[in-house]
Chains A and B, each alone.
Chain A
Amino acid sequence: MSGGRTLREQEGRAGLVLISPTLIITLVVVVVPLLWAIMLAFQDARLINIRRTGVFGNYTLENFSYVISEPGFWTSLINTLVYTVAGTALSIAIGLVAALALRDRFPGRTVIRASILIPYVAPVVAVAFLWETMLNPQYGIVNTWLDEPIAFLTQARGEFLGIQVPVALLTVIAFEAWRYFPFAFLFILARLQALPAELDEAAVVDGATPTQRFRYVIMPQLWRIIALLSVLRFVFTFTKFDDVYLLTGGGAGTEVVSVRVYNFLTARDDIGASAAQAIVLAVVLVVFLAVYLRFFSGGEREQR
């Protein structure tokens, strides 16, 4: 690591040498495949003829027109959106409640806190199987508590208090909220515990009630972390595959786009169409993010 004329040049060279393994592996396993995925989306690619497609292959828009004209795609996009928005909102709301409840010390807090974190830490395959078993119509424990067994994961529609509800989709959303509220809980609790105590104390002296303190003292200091969490959870949930695939396999009205991408890739062996749907999904995500960030940063400027 010598040979440079100045110390500054040496430092620059050393930096590049040390960072290069990181860069190489992200380039080879993430950036290059991404470009290839985009190429595949514009080609008629199947595993049989894949060697004939190349950089200079025949580019076409056929995959996109084929994918978009299938009604199943739009249904799955709407499912994805409902699943993501509801899952994100619920997991953050429950995480906030949990963080507020566990903010102050009490005997047994460590145990409760540990218990809250387990759904997030445990492997998704194990918890999905656990839910499947608990909700099983024949021998699941949840159904033994009910008068009439409900097929939570295989029934597309059902009636609840006289209203038609998408049973399986709601169950998958509940799973999402249950599994990811610990994530929001961790971040919000960390922020809560870093808040200066003086503000809260001053509000008490001024005679603010607990809900007033929450509304006017605590919440304004939490908005930023909640906004960040919303973005993170939205991005992760929007393209999530494991949870829905493991719970329902995409059946009973829960098919999300990522499960469709997987089915086109493996069962239908239609790589081009699969890639086209993945690209559409990514583009929709980017558009949502752009709108959100614009809206959000605009709102922040007004607040100042």
Chain B
Amino acid sequence: MSRDRIERRLLLVLKPMVIALLFLVTAFPFFYMVMLSVRDIQELILEPGSLWPSAFTFDTYVDVLTRQGFLTFIRNSAIIAVASVAVTLLISIPGAYAVARLRFFGRRQVHFLFLAVYLFPAIVLAIPLFVLFTMLGLRGSLIGLILVYIAQTVPVTVYMLRNYFETVPQSVEEAAAIDGCTRLSTIWRVVLPLSKPALMATGLYAFMIAWNEFLFALLFLVERRESWTVSLGLSQLAGSIEIPTTVLMAGSVVLTLPIVIIFFAGERLLTEGLTAGAEKG
């Protein structure tokens, strides 16, 4: 048999194995997460190796949502995420339009600033912001956290939106201008309606950052339990011995599910927006 035939045969066997392994390694932990969340803690202790609960229970979810306060945490996370998305869009739409269309002083330097902010380590920023918020008495308030999230997402969202705005034909905008539109009403009536997919992707990105973030939530909110986000709540309760692991697993599902649903609802938009630069190589 020639080398080519051997290699092809080998690949024919190897490829499904690799694919199966990848699927197992990524899907199994989440399957395990869901299965743990619907069983009683006694069952886990007695039979740690079993994958299918002998009796399904949803008491874990009732417990985590009410007694452990996850309903409050969900409300906090939702407020933070929605506010971050709204303000991020409000700021990055005009910013991206300016970078895409208008020639102004410092336009080239702006790119450099954004790249620097994108790559900038959060742990360095954490120190002065922690000190500042302590001095201002803003620790424990959600507003400070929202501000930080906006600053961290705006550079990326401006970049994503700019890529899209550049694909909107300039002639459409010129036509609007001739019809008497001002610059702002051109953006509002012509550019934005044409950019709905990009706006969706940008909003999803900002939402995911705000929902998943941990370090700043930990630094700013840890002392006030009623302000905890879902991420912070789970991380703080995970160390306690009194709360059964199965109840906390229900908490993980509550934390993970919204983000997974949102991601796959807008997946195509999001991955195209983020990897747009990759195709140019």
Interface residues of A (CB under 8 A from B): 1, 8, 11-19, 21-23, 25-26, 28-30, 33-34, 36-37, 40, 45, 47, 50-51, 97-98, 101-102, 106, 112, 114-119, 121-134, 138-141, 143-145, 178, 182, 186-187, 190-191, 194, 207, 209-211, 221, 224-225, 228, 232, 235, 238-239, 241-242, 246, 258, 261-262, 265-266, 271, 274-275, 278-279, 281-282, 285
> B279 in the interface, Cβ–Cβ < 8 Å?
yes
Cα distance A225–B147 when bound, in Å? 33
A285-B121 in contact given A14-B102, A133-B36 (Cβ < 8 Å)? yes
The prevalent SS among residues of A at the interface is helix
Cα distance A188–B200 when bound, in Å? 24
In chain B, what residue has the closest Cβ to A276?
A: B127
Binds A, one of B52-60, B62-70, B252-260: B252-260
* Residue from the set A18, A225, A242 with the largest chain B CB neighbour count within 10 Å: A18
Which of A97, A117, A126, A241 is within 8 Å of B252, CB to CB?
A126
A133-B48 in contact given A37-B127, A241-B122 (Cβ < 8 Å)? no
Q: Which residues of A contact B29 (CB under 8 A)?
A: 119, 127, 130-131, 134
In chain B, what residue has the closest Cβ to A39?
A: B128
User: When A and B form their complex, which 3 residue pairs have the shortest distance between CB atoms, in order from nearest?
Assistant: A15-B104, A239-B121, A29-B151
Q: Which residues of A contact B234 (CB under 8 A)?
A: 125-126, 129
Q: How far is the CB of A159 from chain B (nearest CB, A)?
A: 24
Q: Which residues of B contact A133 (CB under 8 A)?
A: 36, 245, 249
Q: Which residues of A contact B134 (CB under 8 A)?
A: 47, 50
Cα distance A182–B110 when bound, in Å? 30
In chain B, what residue has the closest Cβ to A97?
A: B18
Q: How far is the CB of A152 from chain B (nearest CB, A)?
A: 14
In chain B, what residue has the closest Cβ to A104?
A: B15
A50-B129 in contact given A126-B255, A282-B121 (Cβ < 8 Å)? no
Q: Which residues of B contact A139 (CB under 8 A)?
A: 44-45, 48, 245
Can you list 7 pairs linking A and B with CB atoms under 8 Å apart? Answer: A15-B98, A22-B95, A50-B134, A112-B22, A209-B3, A241-B122, A241-B215
Q: How large is the interface on B (under 10, 10 to 19, 20 to 34, 35 or more residues)?
A: 35 or more
Q: Establish whether residues B120 and A11, one from each chain, have CB atoms under 8 Å apart when the complex forms.
A: no
Cα distance A40–B259 when bound, in Å? 37
Cα distance A29–B151 when bound, in Å? 6
A21-B95 in contact given A1-B182, A51-B135, A124-B212 (Cβ < 8 Å)? yes
Q: Which residues of B contact A134 (CB under 8 A)?
A: 29, 32
Q: Which residues of B contact A22 (CB under 8 A)?
A: 91-92, 94-95, 154, 158
Q: Establish whether residues A34 and B110, one from each chain, have CB atoms under 8 Å apart when the complex forms.
A: no
Q: Establish whether residues B95 and A18, one from each chain, have CB atoms under 8 Å apart when the complex forms.
A: yes
Q: Establish whether residues A130 and B103, one from each chain, have CB atoms under 8 Å apart when the complex forms.
A: no
A278-B124 in contact given A112-B19, A130-B252 (Cβ < 8 Å)? yes
Q: How far is the CB of B60 from chain A (nearest CB, A)?
A: 13
Q: Establish whether residues A12 and B274, one from each chain, have CB atoms under 8 Å apart when the complex forms.
A: no
Which of A29, A129, A144 is within 8 Å of B49, CB to CB?
A144
Q: Which residues of A contact B130 (CB under 8 A)?
A: 265
> B33 in the interface, Cβ–Cβ < 8 Å?
yes
Q: Establish whether residues B48 and A141, one from each chain, have CB atoms under 8 Å apart when the complex forms.
A: yes
Q: Which residues of A contact B71 (CB under 8 A)?
A: none
Cα distance A133–B214 when bound, in Å? 19
Cα distance A145–B28 when bound, in Å? 14
Q: Which residues of B contact A239 (CB under 8 A)?
A: 121-124
Cα distance A210–B256 when bound, in Å? 40
For the complex with contacts A21-B90, A130-B252, 7 further pairs of A-B residues with Cβ separation under 8 Å are A16-B105, A21-B95, A22-B94, A37-B128, A124-B212, A127-B29, A191-B278
Which residues of chain B (25-48) have a CB below 8 Å from chain A? 25-27, 29-30, 32-33, 36, 44-45, 48
Q: How far is the CB of A233 from chain B (nearest CB, A)?
A: 11
Q: How far is the CB of A76 from chain B (nearest CB, A)?
A: 13
A261-B105 in contact given A29-B129, A125-B231, A130-B33 (Cβ < 8 Å)? no
Which of B26, B150, B248, B256 is within 8 Å of A116, CB to CB?
B26
